[in-house]
A = this chain, B = another copy of it.
Amino acid sequence: MNSSNPSKLGRPRSGDAHQAILKSALQLVSAQGFRAITVNQIAAEAGVGKMTIYRRWPNKAAVVMDALLELVGPQTDFPASMRALDSLREQLRLQAKFFRSRYGRLIRSLLAEAQFDGELASAFRNRWIQPRRRRVIQILQTAIQEGDLRSDIDLETTTDILYGPIYYRLLLGTGVIDDAFIDHVYRQFLTGHQVHKAK
């Protein structure tokens, strides 16, 4: 009841330190990966004491998660297009570009670490993945209303089908995540791979 109450007494926490920590964490993990860096490095890079980090976050993963949410999240907006289907394709391309950027390693690191850390897994799913999935589902619903997609599809499953292959390549490294790949995923999603035999 009181531990979460930021008492007004005493010296207030430094907003500068907060920003410096997140910025350093983001930069280091994007460049070197989650496992390769230490909390001491983040502290040194940010010009703060290690305790200033542990006073605010329970562990390294939580710092990096917040860095992603606060510094990168706002940059990942969704495109608006005339047709919902065009928005969808554009979003897939943005996702690919994002994964090719320095943040690809950041996402890989967090998703991997989340396999060992239930708290992180929940945070990653609820605070990063789910909000973005909801945006995708909105686009899909609009596309259905516009008469471009079948109306009997399951939206959650469909989202998995669209984004699964991109995450797969990110984590398995079986191929590059370029626009050709995205276009293939998108086209396959629309029309399928079956031969439509002449009747």
Contact = CB atoms under 8 A, between A and B. Distances in A.
Interface of A: 33-36, 108-109, 111-116, 121, 125, 129, 133, 147-150, 153-154, 156-161, 163-169, 171-175, 181, 184-185, 188-195, 197
Given A108-B115, A111-B171, A116-B34, A190 B193 contact: yes
- Within the oligomer, what is the number of copies of this chain? 2
A190 B188 contact: no
Contacts of A154: 184
A105 B189 CA distance: 29
A190 to B, nearest CB: 4
Contacts of A114: 112
A172 B165 CA distance: 13
Give the most central of A116, A133, A169: most B CB within 10 Å.
A116
A165 B169 contact: no
Contacts of A108: 115
A177 to B, nearest CB: 10
Contacts of A36: 116
